[in-house]
Structure 1
Amino acid sequence: MLAIAGHLGAGKTTLLNHLLRNGRGVRIGALVNDFGAVNIDAMLVAGQVDAMASLSNGCICCAVDGDEVGEMLGKLAAVKPRLDLIVVEASGVAEPAALARTIITADDSRFHYAGLVLVVDGLQPDLGHGVPVADLVVLNKASSGPDAEGLRARIRELNPRVPVLSTDFARIDPELLIDPPERAPQAQLSFDELLCDEHDHAHPEYQSVEFRGDTPLNPRLFMEFLRDRPLGLYRAKGFVDFGAQRFLLQLVGSSLRFEKRRSGGTELVLIGTGMDTQALLAGLQRCVGEPADENAMLGVLKFVV
């Protein structure tokens, strides 16, 4: 489950609509929170989303009871066929930190919190309070802003490690956020898929780095690597071999999950923007072959599902 926050007019609904139009094969549900009696944002996404719930005339992080948020998210999680991604688009008055807490406390085994995407208006000098808690910053209207580099520098001061993606019209590659699911091929493309094929704009690029090895990693050093993650790293996925145990790893923003798997070596893909590839690989290499003490696995086991 992904949260999208940002000031009024920054481009949150534009980003959600872009994901809906360009997330090929991805089934997306949306919880849209508009502030006012007429839920305009919900109207703007209603014709494209696979499932939707809306909260109106109140801010999701303060005016709406947490149980109600959990109930609505639960309804989206129960949709059949199963959704691949649930997006919570908050009103422009929502405090990002409070929004994240509200979603995290909506305990449900059918979904997990996958971080906060903060949309920043490149024409608006006020960054607000969301940058320190953001897992990804989308610097929108970047080519129109008078000082995009200055804004990036201010973002770095507030959150040195957060990936920052400069965009226009919130056009980010959906694969930065989620993998397209493997589905049976269709004999005929749907109308939405035809629309995807016809778009003629380029997405801002992201980086994808692979790491493989047969020698077990030291779990304590690997968790330190994730804790002090390299600049720009947003996602990591694949298999991690700790010797006695091997796990499927899913890291998205601030969400970390391990699932037990059979032995077979380490195979990782690391995704982000503005990453130092050599430093990233060197950090992983430091985890290889170092003997682990008997308590080294404790840090990993806290995140096993």
Structure 2
Amino acid sequence: MTTLAGPDPPDPDSVTEEPVMSETSNAPAPAASGSAAGKIPVTVLTGYLGAGKTTLLNRILTENHGKRYAVIVNEFGEIGIDNDLVVGADEEVFEMNNGCVCCTVRGDLIRIMDGLVKRRGKFDAIIVETTGLADPAPVAQTFFVDQDVGEAARLDAVVTVADAKWLSDRLKDAPEAKNQIAFADVILLNKSDLVSPADLDRVEAEIRTINPLAKLHRTQNCAVPLEAVLERNAFDLDRILDVEPDFLEAGHHHHHDSDIRSVSAKIEGEVDPDKFMPWISNLTQSQGPDILRCKGIVAFPNEPKRFVFQGVHMILDGDVQGDWGKDEKRVSRVVFIGRNLDPAAITEGFEACRA
């Protein structure tokens, strides 16, 4: 999906550009090269399921930075959830479902980029948030192998959000997670409060064996100065070619974990919290190791706000947030992404929670 968000842009004639400062240095970030001058900067947000990409995106969209960002969000699954979790996502939405942005819907990415290029001037930069199952290589490749996109936009940086608690496991069983680290220009080692200092050092050392050059920030709730992730002019094609020599070849391919699937369920109406809460809790506790990610928006009777929950494995978090619109249908939706999931059992269990 795509959304335009942020305050009105300042008058360019009344603003002088300030150098972008990095978090740890007083030196200004390098200026765009001559060939990149005038191109729309694009930041790719990536990271495995549940690491905190949407949290970072919402931080970007709600900070008082005076800039407008066009945001492209991709989802994995038949039922869209993420677009309703992104601040201001009701302005203009294009949903890209049933696949990662790097393969089955890559044509959609190029199409949306082409549409945004025609509207340049209405925003300052573009952010692409990939599904957690995406290998960022083909996403980044788009800006080099598609002539129209490459002439109008430049890849500013690949920013990877990593879950400090689960990254070690994902590096062992998910090739996408390893590629997300390898291709990163900036890495947020997020949820750092959930592990011990010793474990945090160990995870960081694992990251450094894969990518010793990326700027790394330890974060909680993706709290990081925006200049640490935006307008970095950090994407280094030479470094990427060292990682993947065939990066610029049109036939470049990548691998997915074919055992991972998405299971979605929807109720046209409300659910009973006295049934739903025990059900979702029992499901995540009993199948937690196989549930890589779960999320949902459900309607409770006599509750004007939406109940939003998100989870990774057996860790579940939820709260009421955001009123249901006056004319909005109260539809309850849940999505589970993982291995060995039983679609029929999940659908029946959710249906049994109907109010």
Whether these two folds match at TM > 0.5 is yes
- Comparing both structures, which one devotes a greater share of its residues to helix? 2
- Residue number among 183, 186, 203 corresponding to 1:151 in the alignment: 203
- Residue number among 158, 164, 169 corresponding to 1:116 in the alignment: 158
- Residue number among 81, 87, 99 corresponding to 2:127 in the alignment: 87
What letter matches 2:188 in structure 1? Answer: V
- Residue number among 227, 231, 236 corresponding to 1:254 in the alignment: 236
- CA deviation map 1:205-226 (0-9, x unaligned): xxxxxxxxxxxxxxxxxxxxxx
* Structure 1 contact 4–119 (Cα < 8 Å) conserved: yes
Distance of 2:125 and 2:98 partners within structure 1: 25
| TM-aligned CA deviation for residue 253 of structure 1 | 2.9
SS in 2 for 1:252: coil
The aligned residue for residue 21 of structure 1 is 62
TM-score (norm 1): 0.55
| TM-aligned CA deviation for residue 57 of structure 1 | 1.7
What letter matches 2:225 in structure 1? Answer: D
* Structure 1 contact 29–50 (Cα < 8 Å) conserved: no
- Residue number among 170, 190, 212 corresponding to 1:140 in the alignment: 190
Change (3 A) 1:43 1:162: same
Change (3 A) 1:132 1:178: closer
- Structure 2: 5+ residue stretches without partners: 1-41, 172-176, 239-355
Distance of 1:52 and 1:71 partners within structure 2: 14
Question: What are the equivalent positions in structure 2 for 1:191-230 lying under 5 Å apart?
Answer: none
Change (3 A) 1:145 1:253: farther
- Structure 1: 5+ residue stretches without partners: 180-234, 236-250, 257-305
SS in 1 for 2:95: strand
Distance of 2:61 and 2:146 partners within structure 1: 24
The aligned residue for residue 176 of structure 1 is 228
* Structure 1 contact 11–140 (Cα < 8 Å) conserved: yes
| TM-aligned CA deviation for residue 97 of structure 1 | 2.0
Question: What are the equivalent positions in structure 2 for 1:158-173 lying under 5 Å apart?
Answer: 158-173=210-225
* Structure 2 contact 186–229 (Cα < 8 Å) conserved: no
Distance of 1:139 and 1:50 partners within structure 2: 31
What letter matches 1:6 in structure 2? Answer: G
The aligned residue for residue 53 of structure 2 is 12
Distance of 2:90 and 2:161 partners within structure 1: 20
Distance of 1:171 and 1:255 partners within structure 2: 28
The aligned residue for residue 258 of structure 2 is none
- Residue number among 41, 54, 62 corresponding to 2:103 in the alignment: 62
TM-score (norm 2): 0.48
| TM-aligned CA deviation for residue 157 of structure 1 | 1.1
The aligned residue for residue 88 of structure 2 is 47
* Structure 2 contact 53–161 (Cα < 8 Å) conserved: yes
Instruction: Report how many aligned residue pairs link the two structures.
Output: 185
| TM-aligned CA deviation for residue 99 of structure 1 | 2.6
Distance of 2:216 and 2:229 partners within structure 1: 13
Change (3 A) 1:105 1:46: farther
Distance of 1:16 and 1:160 partners within structure 2: 25
- CA deviation map 1:224-266 (0-9, x unaligned): xxxxxxxxxxx4xxxxxxxxxxxxxxx333379xxxxxxxxxx
| TM-aligned CA deviation for residue 117 of structure 1 | 0.7
SS in 2 for 1:102: helix
What letter matches 1:160 in structure 2? Answer: P
Distance of 1:38 and 1:72 partners within structure 2: 20
Q: State the superposition RMSD in angstroms.
A: 2.3
* Structure 1 contact 29–51 (Cα < 8 Å) conserved: no
Residue identity over aligned pairs, in percent, reads: 31
Distance of 2:201 and 2:64 partners within structure 1: 29
Distance of 2:90 and 2:124 partners within structure 1: 12
